[in-house]
Amino acid sequence: MNIDKNEAALALAAIDAAGARSTQLQRYRRFAPFLILWGVIWLLANSVSDLAPAQAGTVWLALTLLGATASWWLGWRQHTAVAEGSTSRTRLNQGWRWMLCFLVVVAFQVAAIAVLPPADGRQQDTFFSMFWTFLYMAIGAWTGWRLFTIGLAATLLILLGYYGVHSHYFLYMGCVSGGALMAGGLWLRRL
């Protein structure tokens, strides 16, 4: 059987497309547990902010530290799961880069609040929440439309709540922003 140049090029293009799709789905599956984890944290911390405002700062700090530790553990676990072959060194090098990026993001948020203090807790919560959802959209622009969609949906729900929900705003934020992340993580995990 002879195949011409065009048929071979089409076959190679189809193989490349399948490989790219497989890589994208693997990225989604690796990202899903992080969305679920942080969705639960947002749900819990925002609920405490609404139901026990005096403990909000302590709970946010504790859950953020717990989330950072759990995120590190998830990343480490994912690294060991794919540590065979040539990708292990690359993923190990990326690990410290992701940790550095996370620290830069946290430092930016601390600096932004120090320079431009919000007038109230609602503004502060909205700023932090939207910062992360815009970051999801930016990452989604590079990794796939589904992550972008999750960030966009969460951002729109946050803005809707900020302008439309006046009673139990933090409970709303926990349910919709945390819920959007958890639902998005479950959606990505199913792919």
Residues 33-60: tens digit of each pLDDT: 998 999 999 999 999 999 999 999 999 9
Whether 86 has a pLDDT exceeding 70, the answer reads: no
Q: Please give the biggest Cα pair distance in the chain.
A: 76
41 in Cβ contact with 178 (< 8 Å): yes
Question: Mean pLDDT over residues 2-14, rounded?
Answer: 78
Residue 41 CB coordination number (10 Å): 23
Higher pLDDT, 106 or 152: 152
| Per-residue pLDDT at 1 exceeds 80 | no
86: CB partners within 8 A, 6+ apart: none
Instruction: Say if residues 125 and 46 touch (Cβ distance below 8 Å).
Output: yes
pLDDT at 173: 94
**What pLDDT score was predicted for residue 147?**
84
Asked whether the beta carbons of 1 and 147 are under 8 A apart, the reply is: no
Confidence grade of residue 89 (pLDDT, cut at 50, 70, 90): low
Q: Two tokens at 160? A: 């809707």
Q: What percent of the chain has pLDDT over 70?
A: 86
Looking at the predicted structure, is the pLDDT value of residue 77 above 90? no
